[in-house]
Amino acid sequence: MSKKTYTGHPDARKMKYNPLAWVNLVLLAIIVIACNYIGCNEYARRDLSQDQRYTISDRTVNVLSSERIQKRDTPVRIIFAFKRSTPNYNRMYSLLEEYKRVGKGKIEIERFDPMRQPNRAREISQIYGVEFKQDLCIIDARKDPNAPIKTFEERHSDRQHVRIRPGTSFIKYETLPDESRRAVALMMDEVVCSAITEAVEGEMRHMYVVEGKGGVSRDDQTLLESIGNITNALNIQLSWVDIANTEKLPDNAEGLIIISPLSDFTDKEMTVLREFWEREGRNAFFVALNPGLEQKLPRLYRFLREQGIRPNCDRVLLRDRKRAYYDISAVFPKGLNCTKSFWNGTTLVEGQCMSLTLEHGDENAAALRKLSSYPLLMSTAAYYGETRRDLEPVFTPDEDREGPLCLAAAVTRGNPRDPNNLATMVVLGNTDMLSKENAKTEQRDYMHTLWAWMCSRPEYGGKSANQDLTMKIDLNRHTRSALENITLIFMPLCAFLIAIFIWNTRRH
């Protein structure tokens, strides 16, 4: 074996440092840091649930984004004092987190369990004077939310900017045939949004309901329940007015409501109505006509015609039917910009309807008064307006009105670009839309949007969020009848025939 001389390790390959690689690494680090920064500050939330139950309504988003909230010096505090064992706790708190996110720093959320945190419950009780015998949600819009409320009686005290809502108001219940109750809807978004409005504004505005003409009264307020819910959400208080004994509506009246009148107005009463309609500033007029009334109301109808809406004193029926069919397939037409989210949408209107015609007797006079009319609800072409009330109605082209027909309309007086000096009027040819039992979800949202427009609060318009806790399918009368026949007759009959077939097979 030859002896070799050790010369050491061979020269390792020298690593070449490419300057472009270092530039790429630096740029990659900058991109990663920038993406993390943007992701922490700017992100989009997506509700992937099937029924969008963790999403607040467009109406709430508009309210939280309005100047009334965003220009506040101090944020609105929401105290969520609920037990963690409360049903739908996580869903309710998720909705409140959306309030905080959309509020952009103007909404603060605090949650605690009064049973697990008695010290904090005691502090809240000393500030607001409440006892936690039940779940509570407190909305505080005062300048100093940590200061205790001194009194509940003073008119201009800080108490006006605090609203306390019990947990039971967040749930809507339905009474079953066995007189038990079942939770059917979570009303938290609607309740909290209206409470924020009340707390921020403090004093409530006033609208007046005409009494003494039938339809509604202090003892029968069935048709006022839906309107009352809408006006409460807009921080508006409804009061009664006996127009027969009134020379002039109060100066604080921002609106007048006439629902299902059964008797006509006198000349003196019409003077009061005209004076209010011609007032300078912002005022609202809401009229729901009674389509089942056979007699006419000449003075009231003349007043409506002067504004550009003519009641036709008919009833809207479906063609080619031997009996009167009142369920109407209707469309929300293009017109008012505030109802843009409803344009070309469809709905089913139940109950009798009276058609309306939009026309001005004198176009020049209407132009001088700056009157503009808009259709709000139109029937399809399959319906007509029957002028004679027959037991077996038949469409007569010479007498009846051919569809599509206008079922609701709006009128404005003034310049739409000047909302502070704009008079608004909404006329309905149907009263069942005001009933809580017959009104559909899209109809309630549409009415809410119209009221927000009349009250100069367009940010309160739009569609509501999904509130259902149960699955509900709206069926008309004929569909329900067919479903009952299938479940009560045909399905048991099929089961009986199958049983006879099996018995006969085994017998032989």
**Domain boundaries of the chain, sorted by first residue:** 58-172, 204-460
Q: Say what the pLDDT of residue 337 is.
A: 87
Q: Say what the pLDDT of residue 5 is.
A: 58
The band of 365, judged by pLDDT with boundaries at 50, 70 and 90, is: confident
User: CA 219, CA 222: separation in Å to the nearest integer?
Assistant: 9
**Residue pointed to by tokens 């079953």:** 176
Q: What is the pLDDT of residues 118-173, one digit of tens each?
A: 999 999 998 888 888 899 999 999 888 888 876 545 555 678 889 999 988 888 88
Q: Say what the pLDDT of residue 14 is.
A: 52
The mean-pLDDT minimum among 77-91, 241-255, 467-481 falls in 467-481
Among 3.50.30.30, 3.40.30.10, 2.40.50.220, 3.40.1550.20, name the CATH number for the domain at 58-172: 3.40.30.10
By percentage, how much of the chain surpasses pLDDT 90? 32
- Report the candidate in 502, 499, 310, 266 with the shortest Cα–Cα distance to residue 409: 310
Amino acid, single-letter form, for residue 435: S
User: CA 364, CA 373: separation in Å to the nearest integer?
Assistant: 14
Residue 12 pLDDT exceeds 70 = no
> Which numeric CATH code is attached to 204-460?
3.40.50
Q: Looking at residues 6-27, what average pLDDT do you find?
A: 69
The residue that leads in pLDDT, 325 or 346, is 346
Task: Give 338-407 as a DSSP string.
Answer: GGGGGTT-EEEE-S----EEE--S-HHHHHHTTEEEEEEEEE-TTEEEESS--SS----TTTSEESS-EE
Residue 1 pLDDT exceeds 50 = no
Q: What is the pLDDT of residues 98-120, one digit of tens each?
A: 999 999 899 999 999 999 999 99
Residue 270 pLDDT exceeds 90 = yes
Report helix, strand or coil for 316: strand
Please give the structure tokens belonging to residue 171: 């749930």
Q: Which residues pair with 239 in a beta bridge?
A: 208
Q: Looking at residues 347-374, what average pLDDT do you find?
A: 87
pTM over 0.85: no
Q: Say what the pLDDT of residue 458 is.
A: 82
Q: Say what the pLDDT of residue 155 is.
A: 53
The band of 31, judged by pLDDT with boundaries at 50, 70 and 90, is: very high
Q: Looking at residues 53-78, what average pLDDT do you find?
A: 89
DSSP 157: S
Alpha helices by DSSP H, 112-253: 118-128, 188-201, 225-233
**To the nearest whole number, what is the mean pLDDT of the chain?**
85
By percentage, how much of the chain surpasses pLDDT 70? 92
Q: Looking at residues 211-223, what average pLDDT do you find?
A: 78
The mean-pLDDT minimum among 10-14, 125-129, 252-256, 401-405 falls in 10-14
Q: What is the pLDDT of residues 187-206, one digit of tens each?
A: 888 899 989 988 998 888 89
